[in-house]
A = this chain, B = another copy of it.
């Protein structure tokens, strides 16, 4: 689901492979230092609050020493895919992540059963005054090996022109790479003889990619709520950097509903219950046409604006402050790169770049993910199908809720004469919102700026992640993503995560791990 990283996002500016990058690559610095410029860090490391220079050096040395171990951890993880949509490798994947958490220093690691795949609750008590919440996922998106240039579950190291050495595999960036990088940070801190500067409370799930249907059952257990209430906020490890090193942060995310609309002769009581010869269309209703007609009522005739009655009524318009953020983002992000990345020539309604970003952030959507009915093979087959399915996702903005939106969809279909069409919600949740002045957001920004990165701040991610369980009732906490590093291809073929960067502005796995060290110290020092 999530796509907490949108693979085609607007921020994919071309990496300018210039003399600077070449010079750094030629300097003979240790491998983890490529893309993590010691000189630059030297200037700023004294500014890391509560982290003495010698400790910083020791932790960085540990990261370097453990480079191969970190890479191997990620490879091991990618090689064991857990795919909830296919109910594949779920038990093994949960156990593996639990083991990795124990090895990284979590003293308590508990499997949390749900009505679906199990979640995980884990705590690391460092005896620190402050506690940080963490959100992990152990599942990955499906992958069709025929679409990949390197097998999706082999986790091969591949040289990517203009970038460096990347690990290619499903989950590389979404989300095993960043999560394994965070664990590498914990190993390094311990390896340097230190305790983490904050306590950690981790909650994880194995159904993120199917819409987190049972994650509330993990989070809303009393002992988990109690532990989370002690946290300053909840962070998801992330590879926030684009190819040019820039970072975009998001003050929340859209909500989502994923569902199937199923039209069948069986439920309808009209047309055939199974596929029959197509000549019978002359005397029989068609469940496939019934579905098409129902779909056509859900959007405006151009297919762009939701037409489900009442669906957008509670959609909160952008505030002046949010519009200003987007106006700034529109100037800083490159329209052509965004269009090129997605292979598009026009935005919807031919709007401007700034308007396209406003829509991306603020517009509720009704999207067709897939259509599948009757004969789907090569050529044709003269059947009148007894059943047809549309897979949809609906994106929600505050103050819309998943529950209300689903009810509105059902009521709309019933009113329009399609009450027989099954609405099978497979996952989804409410939008997420976090204030720009939340402690975790401020800490993020401080770390990024120390790296001379001025993040583009967006009011909201157009993708979705289940942060609402933290930002909504009853916790009402801040929730966000953090981490240097770069990857791409979430939900797409050739997903990758950067291991060794040739670009001094883009961190590889070691530099990304160190950014988590900095972040933890920043949180520890926050007011």
| Chain A interface residues toward B at CB < 8 A | 1, 3, 6-8, 84-86, 141-142, 210-211, 254, 256, 258-260, 265, 269-286, 288-293, 295-296, 299, 301-304, 342-348, 351, 356-357, 359-363, 365-386, 388, 391, 393, 395, 426-427, 461-464, 490-492
Contact = CB atoms under 8 A, between A and B. Distances in A.
Contacts of A426: 379-380
A382 B3 contact: yes
A415 B386 CA distance: 31
Nearest to A257: B380
A290 B348 CA distance: 12
B376 A278 contact: no
19 contacts: A3-B277, A6-B279, A6-B280, A270-B345, A273-B344, A275-B492, A278-B365, A281-B367, A282-B362, A283-B347, A284-B342, A284-B347, A288-B370, A292-B371, A368-B385, A369-B375, A369-B380, A370-B385, A372-B373
Contacts of A492: 275
A256 B382 CA distance: 10
Nearest to A379: B85
A296 B299 contact: no
Contacts of A260: 380
B369 A385 contact: yes
A342 B289 contact: no
Oligomeric state, in copies: 2
Contacts of A393: 278, 380, 382
Contact of A276 (B8, B276, B301): B8
Given A142-B379, A256-B382, A265-B344, 16 more contacts: A85-B378, A254-B279, A258-B382, A270-B344, A274-B343, A279-B360, A279-B462, A280-B360, A286-B367, A292-B296, A368-B373, A368-B388, A369-B381, A369-B385, A370-B381, A376-B376
Contacts of A388: 368, 371
Nearest to A375: B370
Contacts of A464: 279
Contact of A277 (B86, B347, B384, B463): B463
B379 A288 contact: no
B299 A303 contact: no
Given A277-B6, A304-B289, A367 B384 contact: yes
Contacts of A85: 377-381
Contacts of A8: 276-277, 280
Nearest to A274: B343
A369 B265 CA distance: 15
A153 B407 CA distance: 48
Given A142-B377, A272-B342, A380-B427, A348 B293 contact: no
Contacts of A277: 3, 6-8, 463, 490-491
A344 B491 contact: no
Contact of A370 (B272, B274, B356, B376): B376
Given A303-B290, A370-B375, A373-B370, A285 B380 contact: no
Q: Which 8 residue pairs are nearest across A and B when measured between Cβ atoms? A: A289-B303, A85-B379, A273-B343, A279-B462, A370-B374, A370-B375, A281-B367, A288-B368
